[in-house]
Amino acid sequence: MDSISNMIIMLKNASLAGKESVSLPYSKMKAAIAECLKKEGYVTEISKKTKKGQPLLEVGLVYVDKKPKITEVERISKQSRRVYFGMKDIHTVRNGSGLLVLSTPKGIMSGKQARKEQVGGEALFKIW
């Protein structure tokens, strides 16, 4: 299965279930995505732990007035169909209440940050 899809679905399900944090299998890509989500205020803390010799990524979730910040996610690029956005194609998600996460030559970044840096890239997913 697609590991990024698995990650964002786990984040969504855990936040809707009211969990404080969620443990994911570790990878550098997932750590970079979690770091981007932390900068934008969708997760609180990120830590790398080891359980039974396997590295895990522990991600703390954000709640606003007891409501989860992450309520929906939408995967854009899939393994079967890659979607790339140029700098001019990057627009706000849900009138600014959502976030677009891109994989750019300068690393994983949000749509806002990518426009500021004037780079495009592969659109990974939308989250709101």
pLDDT at 90: 96
Q: Which CATH architecture has domain 3-127?
A: 2-Layer Sandwich (3.30)
Q: How far is CA 64 from CA 33, 73, 88, in A?
A: 21, 17, 32
List the chain domain ranges. 3-127
Nearest to 46 by CA among 38, 54, 28: 38
pTM for the model stands at 0.94
Q: What is the pLDDT of residue 71?
A: 96
Backbone φ, ψ for residue 89 (5° rounding):
-85, -10
Which segments of 8-120 are extended strands (E)? 21-25, 43-51, 54-61, 63-64, 67-68, 73-75, 84-85, 99-104, 107-110
- At 79, list the tokens: 């393994």
Q: What is the pLDDT along the chain (128 residues), one digit of tens a residue?
A: 899 999 999 999 999 999 999 999 999 999 999 999 999 999 999 999 999 999 999 999 999 999 999 999 999 999 999 999 999 999 999 999 999 999 999 999 999 999 999 999 999 999 99
Q: Determine the 3-state secondary structure of 121 from DSSP.
A: strand
Residue with token string 């404080």: 20
